[in-house]
Amino acid sequence: MKPYLTLILLLMVQLAYAQVPKGAWKSQEPTGSTSMMIVSDNYLSIASYSVLNKYFERTEGGPFIMEGDQMIYTPEYNTADSTKIGQPIHFTVTRKDKILTLRYKDAWVWMLVDDAKDVPMAGTWHITERVQGDSGNLVKIHQSGTRKTLKILSGTRFQWIAIDPAVKGFYGTGGGTYRIENGKYTEKIEFFSRDNNRVGASLQFDWGLENGRWDHQGKSSKGDAIHEVWEKIQ
């Protein structure tokens, strides 16, 4: 193979590698908190928290696009600084094996937790139906304006977020690990912005996935019966 063709192929491989940060990534904060970033096809969410101290520190996230090694990320929520919502941030992305570096003003270094490879649940979901009252029937959730509830999953991690980007509204978040075994979907809570006493709880659900619709039934962390449908948005 001619040298210039080899060089082109190497550049293409490096570029493609920079464009695939999908999965869950972990970083340690100077405060002692852990930051977990979940990245789907074009949406990311970051949460900083301490499981040991049952302490939720902050969260931010939103859609992004890749242009070469540049990630253009536009926050839809940021509990530490709401003035950043809607303002694009340009990160230079480099990845070497299991280390991902995002450079803006400083370098933000992340270690791979899982790459979400061949995981049908990995992605960003929004809630569309819920059983309300005693009827047992699923009811479409009325989505007004830009308020929405999302859940983003990697191969092992999850985070849900209730937000309204248009008014910079943030209404709660929670997350942790999940697993699927013996026909059950189980979440273990590592952070919960509304009530840190929920940290450590495990919630088990019956579930099904068909045509991009995720149906699950079980009990909430408060013990209330829930039946919801989520639809993948990417």
What gap in Å lies between CA 211 and CA 91, rounded to an integer? 34
- Do the domains 22-114 and 123-232 sit in the same CATH topology, yes or no? yes
**Closest C-alpha to 21, from 174, 154, 176, 190:** 154
What gap in Å lies between CA 76 and CA 166, rounded to an integer? 8
Tell me the fold of 22-114.
Lipocalin (2.40.128)
Query: Which pLDDT score, from 0 to 100, does residue 66 have?
Result: 93
Query: Which pLDDT score, from 0 to 100, does residue 117 have?
Result: 83
Tokens read off for 66? 């890749």
Query: Which pLDDT score, from 0 to 100, does residue 6 have?
Result: 43
Contact 55, 73 (CB under 8 A): no
Domain boundaries, the chain: 22-114, 123-232
Answer yes or no: pTM beyond 0.85.
yes
Query: Which pLDDT score, from 0 to 100, does residue 143 have?
Result: 67
What is the biggest distance separating any 2 CA atoms in the chain, rounded to whole angstroms? 71
Query: Which pLDDT score, from 0 to 100, does residue 135 have?
Result: 73
Handedness of CA 165, 92, 159, 176 (dihedral sign): negative
Query: Which pLDDT score, from 0 to 100, does residue 118 have?
Result: 85
Contact 191, 175 (CB under 8 A): yes
Contact 110, 25 (CB under 8 A): yes
Residue 141 DSSP one-character state = P
pLDDT per residue of the chain (234 residues) written in tens, 0 to 9:
454 444 344 444 444 445 558 899 999 877 778 999 999 989 999 999 999 999 999 999 999 999 999 999 999 999 999 999 999 999 999 999 999 999 998 899 999 999 988 888 999 999 999 988 777 788 888 766 789 999 999 999 999 999 999 999 999 999 999 999 998 999 999 999 999 999 999 999 999 998 889 999 998 888 888 999 999 986
Measured in degrees and rounded to the nearest 5, phi and psi for residue 198 equal: -80, -15
What gap in Å lies between CA 2 and CA 20, rounded to an integer? 28
Tokens read off for 218? 């079980």
Per CATH, the number for 123-232 is 2.40.128.490
Distances in Å between the alpha carbon of 190 and those of 58, 107, 127, 206?
A: 13, 26, 21, 21
What gap in Å lies between CA 198 and CA 119, rounded to an integer? 27
